[in-house]
Amino acid sequence: MEGLSFFPKEASTFAPRTDAVFFTLLGLSAFMTLAVAFLLVYFCTRYRRGSKARHGGRVSKLIDLEFEAGWSLIPLFIFLFLFTWAAGQEFTLFYPPKDALEISVVGKQWMWKTEHPGGQREINALHIPIGRPIKLDMVSQDTIHSFYVPAFRVKHDVVPGRDNEMWFEAKEPGAYRLFCAEFCGTDHSRMIGTITAMPPEDYARWLDAQPTGETLVAEGRRLYHELGCSGCHEAGGSVRAPPLHGLYGGPVPLEGGAVVTADERYVRDSILRPKSQVAAGYKPIMPSFQGSIDEGELQALQAWIRSIGDGGKEG
Ligand code: HEC
Ligand SMILES: [Cu+2]
């Protein structure tokens, strides 16, 4: 664990880039502060009452104009540059690389539950390999939480009722602190954990040593039968409903003519608010499961539907 330090270690590939923005802003602010303070003192002294310096009168109109334009335009360009630079880095957080290792995270009062693709579960802890992008699929069971790892310079709100994604890549093995950075009730301050980054071989060994519960995908498949989804969605069911095999990742024509992509959000909405987007050619008879399944179960169903998806081919 990191000791007390003035600055957290740069332990992810994002960290140096975030810090570059931070130190540039800090440097720029420090420079401006000092410049203003210096001029303040300098002018106070030079133009004090009774000093010999020339007091009133303009130097020339032309210099006025150039001066005005300069001090408006130069900062404008500086700020535009800072904005595009920082925003560009922020946006990379929203586009996880395709080969990322997907970890499911559930935030609840007051703990973080994590699950590896093989079904290994942890509480307030997460083991990850270094040198590989890690994508977190995060949901909240109750209120807003925020997944924050200072050493990785990443933080993302986990808002209930939607899928929250984030990714990062750890550079150095070590144990790093995980915080909840959104006040979420009495024990908010204890909603903390440890991220252990390890070389890939150690991670593989660690995974092997864990008891594996039912994987998310397996849980989703079980729920699909238990909740009666299969009664409608399997061929030969009592009513006509679209097959879920091959759905994920592909285009879905909707009643009304629009075509959407079956992504996480579409699947979530289909299960919680089936009437909001009805697949073309089907009747809006699917019941809403809002309130009858929790976020964990929804996450499992989504994981299973994703696992039987087709990645964009017609199916
Ligand atoms: C009473 C029958 C019925 C049940 C039960 C049912 N569905 Fe559906 N479902 C439908 C029908 C009909 C549609 C197509 C119309 C629509 O989009 O609402 C549909 C659409 C969907 C879609 C969108 C599919 C597409 O091709 O656009 C998903 C995803 C889905 N259901 C998942 C589920 C899951 C998961 C469950 C169980 C938790 C479930 N359904 C239970 C009848 C049902
Ligand atoms: Cu919290």
Per-domain boundaries in the chain: 1-57+93-213, 216-307
The phi, psi pair for 245, rounded to 5°, reads: -65, 130
Verdict on whether the full-model pTM lies above 0.75: no
For 70-117, the pLDDT digits (tens) are 889 999 999 999 999 999 988 888 888 988 999 999 998 889 999 998
Q: Read off the tokens for 288.
A: 């809403």
Task: Quote the pLDDT of residue 4.
Answer: 62
pLDDT digits (tens, 9 = 90+) for 29-75: 999 999 999 999 999 998 888 888 777 766 666 677 788 888 899 99
Distance in Å from the first CA to the final CA of the chain:
49
CB 192 within 8 A of CB 124: yes
What is the 188 CA–ligand 2 centroid distance (Å)?
A: 5
The ligand whose atoms approach the alpha carbon of 111 most closely is 2
Are 233 and 271 contacting, i.e. CB atoms less than 8 angstroms apart? no
Question: Who contacts 169 (Cβ-Cβ below 8 Å, separation ≥6)?
Answer: 12, 13, 14, 130, 131, 132, 133, 134
CATH architecture of 216-307: Orthogonal Bundle (1.10)
Q: For residue 270, how far is its CA from the centre of ligand 1 (angstroms)?
A: 7
Q: Residue 132 has what pLDDT?
A: 94
Residue 50 and residue 232: Cα distance in Å, rounded?
93
What whole-number distance in Å separates Cα of residue 180 and Cα of residue 111? 9
What atom in ligand 1 is closest to the CA of residue 289?
A: 38
Q: What share of the chain is helix, strand, coil (3-state, %, to 5)?
A: 35, 20, 40
Structure tokens at 55: 């007091």
CATH class of 1-57+93-213: mainly beta
- Give the whole-angstrom CA distance, residue 204 versus residue 216: 19
Q: Which long-range contacts (CB under 8 A, 24 or more apart) does 230-234 make?
A: 232/286
Please tell me the distance from the alpha carbon of residue 232 to that of residue 228, in angstroms, as a whole number: 7
Ligand 1, residues 217, 226, 233: which to mutate, most atoms within 8 A of Cβ? Answer: 233
Distance 283 CA to ligand 1 centre (A): 10
Burial of 189 per CB tally in 10 Å (0-12, 13-18, 19+): exposed
Q: Quote the pLDDT of residue 199.
A: 96
CA–centroid distance, 126 to ligand 1, in Å, is: 34
| Full pLDDT tens readout for the chain, 315 residues | 445 667 788 999 999 999 999 999 999 999 999 999 999 999 999 888 888 877 776 666 667 778 888 889 999 999 999 999 999 988 888 888 988 999 999 998 889 999 998 888 889 999 999 999 999 999 998 899 999 999 999 999 999 888 899 999 999 999 999 999 999 998 999 999 999 999 999 999 999 888 777 788 888 999 998 898 988 888 776 788 898 988 988 899 998 888 999 988 899 999 999 998 899 889 889 999 988 888 888 988 998 998 888 653 333
Q: How far is the CA of 177 from the centre of ligand 2 (A)?
A: 14
pLDDT for the residue 59: 66
User: H or E stretch including 147?
Assistant: strand 145-149
Which one of 217, 224, 229 would you pick to mutate in the ligand 1 pocket, going by the greatest count of ligand atoms within 8 A of its CB?
229
Question: Is 285 a pocket residue for ligand 1 (Cβ < 6 Å)?
Answer: yes
Of the ligands numbered here, which is closest to the C-alpha atom of 308? 1
Nearest CA to ligand 1 atom 12: 241
Pick from 179, 143, 119, 137: nearest CA to 299: 137
Atom of ligand 1 nearest to the CA of 224: 37
> What is the H or E stretch that residue 307 is in?
helix 295-307
pLDDT at site 173: 94
Distances (CA, A) of 267 to 57, 273, 299, 309: 71, 10, 10, 11
Query: With a 6 A CB cut-off, is 106 part of the ligand 1 pocket?
Result: no
| Integer Cα distance of 190 and 185 in angstroms | 10
- Ligand 1: atom nearest CA of 279 is 17
Ligand 1 near 274 CB (within 6 A): yes
Domains 1-57+93-213 and 216-307 fall in the same CATH topology: no
